[in-house]
A = this chain, B = another copy of it.
Amino acid sequence: MTFTIGIIGGTGEIGEGIAMRLSPLYDVVVGSRDTDKAETSCECCISSQKEQGVVCTLRGGSNQDALLASDIVILAIPFKHLVTTVESLHGFEDKIVISPINPMERAGHFIYTPPEEGSAAMKLAAMLPDSARVCTAFNNISGNRWRALDTELDYSVPVCGDDAEAKGIVMDLINRISLLKSYDAGPLSSSHIVESITPLLLNIARFNGMKDVGIIFR
């Protein structure tokens, strides 16, 4: 089965990297608040992948375009823009919505700062229509790793969600990307643990002289 993937915030570090990795596998619509920026980003991606002999299908548009065109939409935006972005869009009904969002602040080291709903994913789900099926995924992989197309992404990806079918689709999608391996990490209410791992990884990178640290379960 083939899907169209929309990426809201698709010209940010993480969004652009996800677009680069997904566009050889799926039809991808890169959304941005700035449509020109989305189109330029797509042209760059297409030409750089063409040099490697990789054909990819992606086009740029507004965040609203990306949402409406997609079966699966990835919200690749910082937590601070979550509410305004979601409120500015319509058409989330029946979509699978992936949240890679990690609410955190820097106070010397990084601190996990979830909203009162418990996690970014739970807050997002509360804002969306009931028919939207939210899954947490891609929370713990750095933008740099996503964009380094000459190296495999060899990480574990925990997926939280309450809709078994949607979770299965998201897990299959993940398993097609490079060497990523998806794991069912339980209901959406467990997302706070997955989100909080990102400030932990940033602290580990900083305190141990590392870069772009990710996780493997085994």
B216 touches A203 (CB 8 A): no
**Chain B: which residue is nearest A203 at the CB level?**
B186
Which segment of A22-30, A54-62, A190-198 sits at the interface? A190-198
A204 touches B216 (CB 8 A): no
A109 touches B196 (CB 8 A): no
Q: Which residues 146-203 in A have Cβ within 8 Å of B in the complex?
A: 158, 183-187, 189-190, 192-194, 196-197, 199-201, 203
A185 touches B204 (CB 8 A): yes
Interface membership of A81, Cβ < 8 A = no
B187 touches A204 (CB 8 A): no
- Measured in the bound complex, the distance between the Cα atoms of B183 and A203 in whole Å is 10
Task: Identify A200's interface contact among B158, B210, B214, B218, CB under 8 A.
Answer: B158
B109 touches A190 (CB 8 A): yes
Which of A111, A190, A210: most chain B Cβ within 10 A? A190
Which residues of chain B are within 8 angstroms of A186 by Cβ–Cβ distance?
109, 200, 203-204, 207
Query: Is chain A's interface secondary structure helix, strand, loop, or mixed overall?
Result: mixed
B215 touches A190 (CB 8 A): no
Task: Identify A207's interface contact among B185, B213, B218, CB under 8 A.
Answer: B185
Which residues of chain B are within 8 angstroms of A216 by Cβ–Cβ distance?
215-216, 218
A193 touches B185 (CB 8 A): no
Q: A109-B190, A193-B112 are in contact. Are A200 and B185 (CB under 8 A)?
A: yes
Q: A184-B208, A196-B196, A197-B197 are in contact. Are A203 and B190 (CB under 8 A)?
A: yes
Which A residues lie at the B interface, using CB under 8 A? 109, 111-112, 158, 183-187, 189-190, 192-194, 196-197, 199-201, 203-204, 207-208, 210, 213-218
8 closest A-B pairs by CB: A184-B207, A186-B203, A216-B216, A193-B200, A193-B196, A109-B186, A183-B204, A213-B217
User: 13 pairs across A/B with beta carbons < 8 Å?
Assistant: A109-B187, A112-B192, A185-B207, A186-B203, A186-B207, A194-B200, A201-B217, A210-B217, A213-B217, A215-B216, A215-B218, A216-B216, A216-B218
